[in-house]
Amino acid sequence: MRNKILDLLKLKQGEYVSGESISDSLNITRAGVWKQIQGLKEAGYDIEGQTRRGYRLLKTPSALDEWALQQELRTEALGRRLLLFEELPSTNDWLKNLTPQDAEHGTVVIAKRQNSGHGRMQRLWESPQGGLWLSILLKPRLSLGDAAKLTLSTGVAMAQTLKELYGIEAGIKWPNDLVYEGKKIAGILGEVAGEWNAVQSLILGVGVNANFSLQQLSPKLPATTLLEILGKEINLNGLAATFLFILEKEIQSLEQGDVQGLIQRWTSFAVGINQSVQINRAGIVYTGIFKGIRENGELIISHEGQEMAFSSGEVTLRAEGQYSPN
Ligand code: BT5
């Protein structure tokens, strides 16, 4: 009902729709219409009501809202099936638990908060209200090796989104943390659902610290939020929609085989290129110059005149004055 009323108001955007015509179209009482409108206002919709003219929609909410997000979506597949929850343990886990018949390409699930959000290696991901905690289920037309590159695409898409929407120049810290002035603003988690050969589903989870203050996070975390940077709340529906749009373009370009383009864009956002870094592999520390990444996502350093490559599961990367995850 709520969404039907919004559809009616949208049809006449900017103009008044009488309570009577809403009640006639949807077969509910005038009091019922009024109640629904109050509910919408409480959800952050700016709806003006005038006694004789009716209602008009002035603004959609900046808090997460399914209808408002759908209006902003410009994608072909991503988010066309969209689920929004008040709270979930983890949006990645929710998609992982879908039955294969339900695992539709492009499904997006968002939670307003997570009580058991996680990062790589089951590290805890703090997910208070006001953030964007979103996961996407993909069945990309890619080999397993190329599908693994989608976490790189996700980092690029988020860095581009933050730049385009807010002018924030976030960097990508290998393998795929998004950092701003050395502090983590977003994290990405790519996981394969079930047996890769049997199911071929990839889950991309992204968490963005958006409309909440640093006090909502553990005090020692080297983190920041969009609210801290911008000093004001952003429209979470716009953030999600723009990110999905840019990510879809990245996925399409990878499906067309443009790995080089992805590596270039990733490198243009990478933090620490051509700088001295320390890599810790199983307790042994290698110092070298960070040269970039290989097509398979491995990090390359030049160490005592030789190139060395490291994969993300096995090492941590540190650079002077730079954020280091754990
Ligand atoms: C990540 O892991 O950065 C991936 C985070 C992915 C979160 C999204 S939210 C939607 C979806 N559903 C999920 O359950 N997960 C995904 P990693 O690189 O392992 O970093 C984890 C580390 O980041 C933690 O050990 C903390 O040190 C730090 N951390 C935790 N919460 C943070 C936050 N909100 N902001 C910044 N840093 C945080």
Which amino acid residue places its CA nearest to atom 21 of ligand 1?
119
Q: Please tell me the distance between residue 241's alpha carbon and the centre of ligand 1 in angstroms.
A: 21
Q: Please tell me the distance between residue 135's alpha carbon and the centre of ligand 1 in angstroms.
A: 13
Q: For 61-116, write each residue's pLDDT tens digit.
A: 999 999 999 999 999 999 999 999 999 999 999 999 998 889 999 999 999 999 99
Which amino acid residue places its CA nearest to atom 29 of ligand 1?
125
CATH 3.40.309.10 is the classification of domain 66-269? no
Q: For 180-207, write each residue's pLDDT tens digit.
A: 999 999 999 999 876 655 547 899 999 9
pLDDT number for residue 321 = 46
Supply angle C-alpha 205, 208, 212, rounded to 5: 140
Question: What is the pLDDT of the chain when averaged over all its residues?
Answer: 92
Q: Where in the chain is the domain with CATH 3.30.930.10?
A: 66-269
Q: Where in the chain is the domain with CATH 1.10.10.10?
A: 2-59
Q: Please tell me the distance between residue 209's alpha carbon and the centre of ligand 1 in angstroms.
A: 10
Mutate to test the pocket of ligand 1, among 110, 125, 236 (most ligand atoms within 8 A of CB): 125
Summarize the confidence of residues 157-172 as an average pLDDT: 98
* Model pTM score: 0.94
Question: Does pLDDT of 323 surpass 60?
Answer: no
CATH code of the region 2-59: 1.10.10.10
The DSSP code sequence of 195-252 is -HHHH-EEEEEEEE--SS-GGGS-TT--B--HHHHHSS---HHHHHHHHHHHHHHHHH
Find residue 315's DSSP bridge partners. Answer: 281
CATH 2.30.30.100 is the classification of domain 276-319? yes
Q: What tokens does 165 get?
A: 């929407």
pLDDT number for residue 314 = 61
Q: Where in the chain is the domain with CATH 2.30.30.100?
A: 276-319
